[in-house]
Amino acid sequence: MSRKYFGTDGVRGRVGEMPITPEFVMHLGYSAGKRLASRDWHLAKGGRPAVLIGKDTRVSGYLLESALQAGLSAAGVDVFLAGPVPTPAVAYLTRALRLQAGIVISASHNPYEDNGIKFFSDSGSKLPDEMEKAIEAGLEEPIRTMPSAQLGRAKRINDAAGRYIEFCKSTFPFDLDLRGVRIVVDCAHGATYHIAQPVFHELGADVIAIGVSPDGLNINRECGATDPKALQRAVLEQKADIGIALDGDGDRVVMIDGQGVVYDGDQLLYVLARHRMKSGTLKGGIVGTLMTNLAVEHAFAGSGIPFERARVGDRYVLEMLQKNDWQIGGEGSGHIICLDRHSTGDGIVSALQVLTAMRQENATLAELTKDLVLYPQVLVNVRVAKRFEFEKSEPVLEAKRAAERDLEDAGRVLLRASGTEPLIRVMVEGKSRERVSHWADSIAEAVRHAAV
């Protein structure tokens, strides 16, 4: 059975349209609850399975939280409500509280009109495909509410943010601090708005926070990891040493140096890999994705660091890390996984690992990345009808082949369907920016014509 509703990062879409409607989300909660209730959790006598629900700051979170809670309760599952907390906080708290699953209500970097539901297992990792397929299969079954005595109950966790702040701080070496470091952190008016500043401040940094006034509608709007221009301005105006841009649900990060230069996930991954290699703490190799800049792969090869590419999506990076028994992986978008620190990608924790490298090597980001010169990479997103299969379009494939013939071994071409939006992503990279831009536009135009 192929997955109908689950993409690479849970179920996502426009609020009020399938599948992000209260009726569907309630049914989704019920189906997930029934799958959880049917598993052998070795619960105490009379105990019920329990899940944690966290959300970002979108106004629709209130609606979807109530719908999920109703479905889970109908299936006989207890619910712990964490309120607005980052996605990685849900993963951590699910493990810390010994719960059976965690659920996040968020559409990550998408605009406020969208929302989504994603699940974590009891180990704090994304649900395996088999469980997602089982939940989807359960959506074909009607909701049959448990008898009143067996309904799930709900409890709010008032100290969820504080628990997670302490966890983030624990991932930074105890013999280091951030005294004397001036940091601007952009929380994208999202789930880290009340968390990121205390983390860095309590480690000693002088912190200026922006993007910390969520109103339910401004999440990710001209701010955060997907649009770091506001952070660049703030870093220069505040004469800060570093800027940290998080996205709406706090699982990705990009950073800015004191000169206003942006460092994406590929560059930060390179910093972490080289630092761990120098310190003798690198276990195995590094996992990137099909989108990872070719220069990063070449740099790792020159340093003798094993490198493999996973499919795009942090769940696939995690799967390859676990398969290889490695610890560090990530994406250019800023999803970075440090399995020696957390079970999932975490923007704050990843930033702390980069700051660790900077402090221990007494170096700036520019100095730590001076040997890495990224190849020009152009990404064009082409909006298409849902389920458009570019693989079956000969004009699109011919445009791709023409680009590959021209670039030869000095570049790459990648087409892929987005797992979260009705988009075809066209990526072209190579040593010549002019040729890269030309071929990206050419292929994107072929996709537009074919998708009509």
Active site residues: 108
What is the CA 276 to chain-centroid distance, rounded? Answer: 22
Q: What is the phi/psi pair of residue 32, to 5°? A: -65, -40
Residue 159 to residues 81, 82, 195, 348: CA-CA distances in angstroms? 11, 8, 12, 18
> Of all helices (H) and strands (E), which one includes residue 33?
helix 22-37
- Can you spell out the DSSP letters for 266-328? HHHHHHHHHHHHHHT---S-EEEETTS-HHHHHHHHHHT--EEEEPSSHHHHHHHHHHHT--E
CB-based contacts of 281, cutoff 8 Å, min separation 6: 340
CB-based contacts of 252, cutoff 8 Å, min separation 6: 108, 109, 225, 246, 265, 331, 333, 334, 335, 336, 345, 347
Residue 65 to residues 116, 146, 287, 331, 357: CA-CA distances in angstroms? 11, 20, 34, 29, 39
CA angle 211, 165, 368 (to 5 degrees): 70
Match 């870093």 to its residue by tokens: 235
- Do 292 and 331 form a contact (C-beta atoms < 8 A)? yes
- Do 85 and 164 form a contact (C-beta atoms < 8 A)? yes
Q: Write down how long the chain is.
A: 452
CA angle 76, 120, 9 (to 5 degrees): 120
Q: Residue 206 has what DSSP assignment?
A: E
Neighbours of 378 (CB within 10 A): 18
Q: Maximum distance among all alpha carbons in the chain?
A: 69
Match 């105990």 to its residue by tokens: 47
What's at 283, amino acid-wise?
A: K
